[in-house]
Amino acid sequence: MKKKNAENKKILLSHGSGGAAMSALVKEMMIDKFDNPTLRRLSDSAVLPPSGNKQLCFTTDSYVINPIFFPGGDIGSLAVNGTVNDLSVMGAKPLYISCSLIIEEGLDMDILDKITTSMEKTSKKANVQIVTGDTKVVERGSADKIFINTAGIGIIQKNTILSTKRIKNGDKIIINGEIGAHGLAVMSKRENFKTNIKSDCASLWGIIETMLSAGGIKFMRDPTRGGVATVLCEIAEQSGFGIQIKEETLPIHDNVSSFSEILGLDPLYIANEGKVIAIVAKDKASSILARMKTNPLGKEASIIGEITKKNKGRVVLETIIGGKRIIDRLTGDQLPRIC
């Protein structure tokens, strides 16, 4: 049977070869959308304004998610917010992002268009500029549709020192809202379930800036891959203190809870993309919480536990019925199970 000719415009190898096709693609898909003076100079490297004696923060991450579109987000919004958040949790105001694309030959042009538009909208909302980038096209089969790397630069705010070394016995643990939505939103597409679960993919700088203004923040981390449990295990190990959390204080929406039950997954280990865990001084916890609740990303903020001298290096959960169990790291991804 004769194969039908390709109907939609597709990315071809020539789009990555450095010639006219590539220039046109980069202009239409990125320069015109991300649109800022630094980018428009089209220099080999972005020259950034001086930052005086301020401390810079620099991060990078690559995004290979499948499916590339999921309820509440896509690989583009994820690539911007993920890097923005990695800077934000260090107390650094995110400013500049780079955007590197590796595109599989044959990807629909429409899809690239949607992704870069999403990156443009997301970066505007996060108040960051995409100032430099790169585009490569690889042969069909050498990449899964599109991979994106973003690197980011931010400036650490005055008097902000965030470190596990500052953590003390009695400090409280706060999270800004409900857990497990992102990982399950992605999974719902893969497993053919109909749910109203949307990824929580969002830029955290706004709410973090509000939290920092209260003072008393010792350490922050965003619980992405591996979820809340993994971040808490890392903090316990690095600080040398124990962590006690209460299952009944964990903000989990019913639909997330239910979907996790059906697949046999634990929400504590599911990825989030718009959540921050903060270790805060005991006497500041209430005021930080109150400030968080004034922010759209903090309406369900909750104190979920505290730092203890007991069970050093371990995370202990008080279960919903008042029993106790140890929360440990996972090995590899959680998989849906029957048993």
Residues found near another protein in the complex (CB under 8 A): 188, 191-197, 248, 254-255, 257-259, 261-264, 266, 317-326, 328, 330-332, 335-339
The residue among 42 and 326 lying less far from another protein, judged by its C-beta, is 326
Token pair 């029957």: residue: 338
- Cα(first)–Cα(last) distance of the chain, in Å? 45
Which of 275, 314 has the CB closer to another protein?
Answer: 314
Return d(Cα 253, Cα 271) in angstroms, integer: 15
CB 272, min distance to another protein, A: 18
Residue 330 beta carbon to another protein: minimum distance, rounded to whole angstroms: 8
> Is the dihedral angle over the CA atoms 124, 293, 220, 165 positive or is it negative?
positive
**Structure-block tokens of residue 322:** 């008042």
Q: Quote the least distance from Cβ 276 to another protein, whole Å.
A: 26
**Nearest distance from residue 324's CB to another protein, in Å?**
5
Question: Which residue type is seen at 136?
Answer: K
Q: Which is nearer to another protein, 245 or 276 (CB)?
A: 245
The residues, any chain, with a CB within 8 Å of residue 333's CB and separated by 6 or more, are: none
Q: Which two structure tokens, joined as six digits, stand for 333? A: 């991804």
Report the residue number, 19 or 240, with the smaller CB distance to another protein.
240
Q: Is 257 left (phi over 0), alpha (psi -120 to 50) or beta?
A: alpha
Least distance in angstroms from the C-beta of 182 to another protein: 16
Comparing CB distances to another protein, the nearer of 215 and 313 is 313
- Closest separation between CB of residue 314 and another protein, Å? 8
The residue (of 58 and 193) whose beta carbon lies closer to another protein is 193
Residue bearing tokens 């003072």: 215
Q: Give 70's strand partners.
A: 73
- Please give the Cα distance from 74 to 67 (Å, whole number): 8
The token duo for 200 is 């929580």
Distances (CA, A) of 264 to 9, 121, 184, 187: 41, 35, 12, 13
From the CB of 122, what's the least distance to another protein, in Å? 26
Nearer to another protein, 50 or 332 (CB): 332
Judge contact between 97 and 129, C-beta under 8 A. Answer: yes
